[in-house]
Amino acid sequence: MTLPFHWVNGTPGASISLSDRGFSYGDSLFETFRVHRGRPHLWRYHLQRLQAGQRVLGIECETRRVESQLELALDWLGTQALDDAAARLTLSRGAAGRGYRSAADMSTLTLSLDTVSPWRSVPSAARVILCETPLAIQPLLAGIKHGNRLEQVLAARELQDEDEGLQCNSRGEVVCGVSSNVFIARDGKLLTPPVVDCGIAGTVRRAIMEALAPSAGLEVVETRLHPDDLVTAEEMLLTSSLQGIRQVARCGEHVFTSSQCGDTLREHFFHFSESSE
């Protein structure tokens, strides 16, 4: 048996109901993370973000149930002798009747596994554009990874030969990439947009801010960024749970020539990921 593979409420290969609210309304949360040799990377951060989303949306699911599903997947990977996998854990409110107010008896928990690049592989420097599709300002949902990703779907349709697109909010401030967080290096500091109005509080972003940058002697500042700020940066970095820390080669017509911060943070990231779980 090979990847992809999945479980629904602990049952391998099962299907979800057509009346599941995650399917009907995007009434769900999800976490995507890398697994290497039986260890889920940054799992504590992912679990904490999932729990934050549960509090916001009011979706009940005991932590032990989540961890039991993860253990099933890790055990299965061990039997298949697979070192690397991309995991996606999705928690929806569950099957219910029609209407926004309809209640579900039990949440639905799925976990799927798919292929991923080998651990410690360094992705090629990315070509990036500024997307026209804005992110709506909604502080209530900012930071969490809820199941409604239509803004990202629309923005991704703008990409042609580019690897990633950056999205602004309705005020014209740069928030994040379509599927990543963004940092720029300027004047000896790392700058990254806050995610208090919209956007996702990424787990690698958190690791950089709390652990990697301090250990590398770098100062991180959360600050609102505008498109003009990007062309004055010495470096641009994209971060995500599957790719880790990715250098940006070009944003539109602007070319970045330095990789010093990215190279330093990447080595700290590998060490942190291998020693902290």
CA 95 vs CA 6, 11, 17, 50, 118: distances in Å: 19, 16, 6, 20, 37
Instruction: Give helix then strand counts, H and E, for the chain.
Output: 8, 15
Strand partners, 83: none
| pLDDT value of position 2 | 85
State the number of CA atoms in the 13 A half-sphere of 264 facing the CB. 16
Q: What percent of the chain has pLDDT over 70?
A: 99
Judge whether 121 lies within some domain.
Answer: no
Say yes or no: 61 and 138 in one domain: no
Residue 271 has pLDDT above 90, yes or no: no
Say yes or no: 133 and 33 in one domain: no
- Region 132-137 average pLDDT: 98
Q: For the chain, how many structural domains are there in total?
A: 2
Q: What angle do the packed helices 43-57 and 63-79 form, to 10 degrees? A: 140
Say yes or no: 17 and 148 in one domain: no
State the number of CA atoms in the 13 A half-sphere of 16 facing the CB. 25
Say yes or no: 64 and 141 in one domain: no
pLDDT (tens digit per residue) in 241-257: 999 999 999 999 999 98
CA distance 183 to 190: 6
pLDDT (tens digit per residue) in 26-81: 999 999 999 999 999 999 999 999 999 999 999 999 999 999 999 999 999 999 98
Where does a domain end: 58, 80, 114? 114
Where does a domain end: 69, 94, 114? 114
Say yes or no: 43 and 82 in one domain: yes
Cβ-proximal residues to 98 (8 Å cutoff; 6+ apart), any chain: none
| pLDDT value of position 51 | 98
Say yes or no: 109 and 146 in one domain: no
Residue 145 lies in domain: 126-276
CA distance 12 to 8: 7
Judge whether 165 lies within some domain.
Answer: yes
Residue 274 has pLDDT above 90, yes or no: no
| pLDDT value of position 147 | 97
Tell me the CATH number at 212.
3.20.10.10
CA distance 17 to 29: 17
Judge whether 119 lies within some domain.
Answer: no
Residue 1 has pLDDT above 90, yes or no: no
Residue 97 has pLDDT above 70, yes or no: yes
Q: How far is CA 10 from the centre of its chain?
A: 24
pLDDT (tens digit per residue) in 203-234: 999 999 999 999 999 999 999 999 999 999 99
Tell me the CATH number at 53.
3.30.470.10
Where does a domain end: 60, 88, 114? 114
| pLDDT value of position 276 | 64
Say yes or no: 56 and 88 in one domain: yes
